[in-house]
Amino acid sequence: MDFISQYKKRVLSRLISVEPSKLKEKILESEYYLVSEKLDGFYTVLVSDSKGIKLFNKSGREIKIPSIQSIKLEKSCVLVGELCSFINDRPQTHRELASAIAKPDKTDIRFAAFDVLGINGKVIDATGIEKYNLLKELANQKTCYTITQHQFSSRNEVEEFYNNIVANSGEGIIVKAANELAYKIKPIITLDLVVLGFCEGIQEKAGVVRDLLIGVALEDNLYQVVGTVGTGFTAEDRSMFYKSLSPLSVNSTYTEVSGAKTAFVMVKPEWVIELTCLDVLGENSKGTIKRPVLKYDTSGFDLIEQTAGVSLVSAVFIRKRTDKTVSVSHSGKDQLLDYLNPQSDSEKTLKLVDSEIVSREVYTKKGKNGVMVRKMVGLKTNKEETGLFSKYAVLFTDFSSGRAEPMNQEILLCDDKTSLENTLQSLRDEHVKGGWNKVN
C-alpha cells in the first residue's frame, strides 16, 4: 500500500495552513479555486474492483465498514477521502468516528471522496475541475459520495465562503487552486501551555532566550512535550525571560535539541504562557505524532515514554499567564483532545530503551583562569525505530571558567556509525589542538 503513504507525502503534507485574516494575502492569484468545507474525519483510501470495495487507513490497515463495502461502484477505481460519522445528516468529529467504527452496523458512517488516483488501472492525470467531475460520476451514493467543491474566481469569494462556513459552526475550508497549490483555512487556535525549558541565543544573541520548550500538564507531576515557540517575543521579553528562567534550571535525563543545535535548559515547571497557532496536528506523513512524557520531581525531569501527541503549526507567543497555574485544569492536555488522533492497534505507546555510551573523550588545558575542559560523548540512542531520534548522536561540552558563559553544549545527530566517527574526528580537528591533553 505504498501509494497511500506516497499520496500523503506528495499532496496532504504540502497543504498550507493560512490564518483567516491573511487569506487574501497568503493565497496566491489563480485562474480559479475549488473550495470545500473541511470535514473532521479519518484520511481513508477506497479501492474498488471486480471483487468489491476495500477501505484502508493512513497506515495501510484495512477497515471494515459494511454499509460502504456493500455498495457497487460502476468502475474500478482508487479514491481518496475522509471517513466520517454522521448524526441527523450532519458530520461529527473524528472522536465520534472512532467510537462509531467499533460498531459500524449501528452507526451512520460514510466515505466522502475528495480526489481520484486511478480508474480501471490507469493513473489519472487531470486538472482539479476534471478530477472533480470524474468523482461526481464515481462516488454518488449516500455512503460513498463526493465532497461538494465550489468553483470561485476570486479570493473575495473564497473569504465569503469561509465566513459562512464558520458562522454555521463549520471547522474551516480547503482551497485547491488551479496552480495545484492547496490551502487549509481554520480559525486561530489559542492554548495555555507549560514552559519546560529554554534555549539561549548564540554569539551576539547570547544572554537572551531564543526559544521556549512547551508542554501540557498531565496527572501526578507528568508533562508531555508539545513543541517549541520562538516568535512573538519582544527584545525585552527575551532578556527578562533568560534572567528569570535561568535560576529555575534543573537536571534532566531527557534532552531536546533546538533549531540552533544546542540543548534546551530544562526548568522547574512553574510558568504558563499563552500562544496562538494556525493548526494543531495529530499526525504527519509518518503517521501518529509521538511526543515524550516527562516526570518531574526534586531531582529534575526523567523521560518516561513516547505516546500520541501533537505538533503546532506557526506557534506565536502572546503573553505570560500570571493568572494561570501549572495544573491539569489550567494548562492540561484536555485542550488538545479535539486534535489528537485515536491510536490504532499498531500505534501503542512506545517504552523507550536507554541510550548507551559508545565513545567518551575528555581533554583538558590549563588557562589563565583555570583548567578548561572539552568532552565528546558518542551515544547509540537505541530509539531510531520511533522515527523521533537519530541512530547515533554526539554530545560536545566546552567548559572555560574565563568566559561570560562558562559552559557551552552542542548535540550533533548522526545517521550511522561512520557518521558518528566522522563527527568525532571533525570535533577533534577543530577543538583539540596544541596544549590539550587527553585524560579519558
Residue 10: count other Cβ atoms within 10 Å of its Cβ: 11
CATH number at residue 101: 3.30.470.30
| 415 within 8 A of 397, measured Cβ to Cβ | no
Please check whether residues 326 and 397 belong to one and the same domain. Answer: no
Cα 351 to chain center, whole Å?
A: 20
Please check whether residues 167 and 193 belong to one and the same domain. Answer: no
Please check whether residues 280 and 411 belong to one and the same domain. Answer: no
Q: Residue 305 falls within a domain, yes or no?
A: yes
Return the C-alpha cell found at 119.
480508474
Backbone angles phi, psi at 380, to 5 degrees: -100, 115
Please check whether residues 30 and 177 belong to one and the same domain. Answer: yes
Query: Using one digit for the tens of pLDDT, what is the confidence trace for 154-170?
Result: 999 999 999 999 999 88
End of a domain among 161, 185, 209?
A: 185
In whole angstroms, what is the distance from residue 119 CA to residue 127 CA? 15
Q: Which amino acid is at 16?
A: I
The pLDDT of residue 13: 62
Q: Residue 272 falls within a domain, yes or no?
A: yes
The model's confidence at residue 375, banded by pLDDT at 50, 70 and 90, is very high
E runs forming strands in 10-72: 16-18, 33-37, 42-49, 52-56, 62-63
In whole angstroms, what is the distance from residue 140 CA to residue 146 CA? 6
Three-state secondary structure call for residue 335: helix
Q: Are strands 182-185 and 16-18 parallel, antiparallel or unpaired?
A: parallel
**Residue 371 pLDDT > 90:** no
| 321 within 8 A of 276, measured Cβ to Cβ | no
Q: Residue 44 falls within a domain, yes or no?
A: yes
Please check whether residues 178 and 196 belong to one and the same domain. Answer: no
**Residue 131 pLDDT > 90:** yes
Please check whether residues 164 and 31 belong to one and the same domain. Answer: yes
Please check whether residues 331 and 360 belong to one and the same domain. Answer: no
Query: Using one digit for the tens of pLDDT, what is the confidence trace for 219-252?
Result: 879 999 999 999 999 999 999 999 999 999 999 9
Please check whether residues 233 and 171 belong to one and the same domain. Answer: no
In whole angstroms, what is the distance from residue 388 CA to residue 290 CA? 8
- Could you list the residue range(s) of the whole structural domain that residue 63 is in? 2-185
pTM over 0.75: no
The model's confidence at residue 388, banded by pLDDT at 50, 70 and 90, is low
**Residue 347 pLDDT > 50:** no
**Residue 343 pLDDT > 60:** no
Q: Residue 344 falls within a domain, yes or no?
A: no
Q: Residue 349 falls within a domain, yes or no?
A: no
Burial class (CB in 10 A: 0-12, 13-18, 19+), 108: middle
**Residue 44 pLDDT > 50:** yes
For CA atoms 273, 278, 282, 288, the dihedral sign is negative
Q: Residue 38 falls within a domain, yes or no?
A: yes
The model's confidence at residue 344, banded by pLDDT at 50, 70 and 90, is very low
End of a domain among 277, 305, 336?
A: 336
Q: Residue 59 falls within a domain, yes or no?
A: yes
In whole angstroms, what is the distance from residue 147 CA to residue 37 CA? 8
Among the ranges given (115-129, 199-213, 214-228, 385-399), the one the predictor scored with the smallest mean pLDDT: 385-399
CATH number at residue 306: 2.40.50.140
Please check whether residues 196 and 179 belong to one and the same domain. Answer: no
End of a domain among 274, 308, 336?
A: 336
Q: In the chain, how many domains are there?
A: 3
Q: Residue 31 falls within a domain, yes or no?
A: yes
Three-state secondary structure call for residue 183: strand
**Residue 7 pLDDT > 80:** no
